[in-house]
Amino acid sequence: MDKETQYEKFLGVKTNEEQIIFGNTRKLKYSLYEASEYEGLEQIFELVPLASNDTLVDFGCGMGRVLFYCNQRFFCKVKGIEYDKKIYESLLDNAEFYHVRFGGQREKFTLLNMKAEDYEIASEDSCFYFFNPFSKEILEGVLGKILKSVEVNPRRVTIIFYYCTYDMMSAIRSFPFKLEHIVKLPEYRLDPDEKAYVYVLEQ
């Protein structure tokens, strides 16, 4: 049994189906659905350990893989932002199965069916996860909100880019986030772009 199957079975969820958001994405600002590999998540969160009082926000969370993985590993709060209604319904189904298997964590989950740019950053939000979910324009807006939130409520925040594209790199260079880690993901030998970038901001 491979690692992907092992994790899905352990967590009691199904997050690896390939589904397309909105059909023809060439005309849209959002990306195809694709889940982060569990092995990649292991590598990233070895370097970015979360505390139980941290809150991770996954923009474009899909069916919730990162949420379930981080909650189970760290017992932290998690928030999933997913715009596509069909995928959001699958996320809710996964959450119900997860909460049956792992009781007592339901209050640590917030699952929202909304556009990323409409989400208001909360003072408790401390870690932000992106897997190439949308356009550079939307990303810049979200990063601007994160920066403003830190200015209003000073704290350390972490931003994780899984498979960081040129547009994402270009966007974050406009903000005072500091690069802390570059993580070579499982398929790095086959594709040099298979990396995760971890940025921090502390005020």
Tens of each residue's pLDDT in the chain, 203 residues: 688 999 999 999 999 765 444 444 433 444 456 788 999 999 999 999 999 999 999 999 999 999 999 999 999 999 999 999 999 999 999 999 999 999 999 999 999 999 999 999 999 999 999 997 788 999 999 999 999 999 999 999 999 999 888 888 899 999 999 999 999 888 777 777 789 999 999 88
Beta strands in the chain (DSSP E): 55-59, 77-82, 109-113, 127-130, 156-162, 178-184, 195-202
Q: Encoding tokens for residue 60?
A: 């474009």
Domains of the chain: 3-202 (3.40.50.150)
pTM exceeding the 0.75 threshold for the entire prediction? yes
CB-based contact 65:15 (threshold 8 Å): yes
What angle is formed at CA 176 by the lines to CA 173 and CA 178, rounded to 5 degrees?
85
Predicted confidence at residue 132, as pLDDT, reads: 78
pLDDT of residue 68: 98
Residue 33 pLDDT: 60
Q: Give me the pLDDT at residue 1, please.
A: 62
DSSP 76-131: -EEEEEE--HHHHHHHHHHHHHHHHHSTT-GGGEEEEES-GGGPPPPTT--EEEES
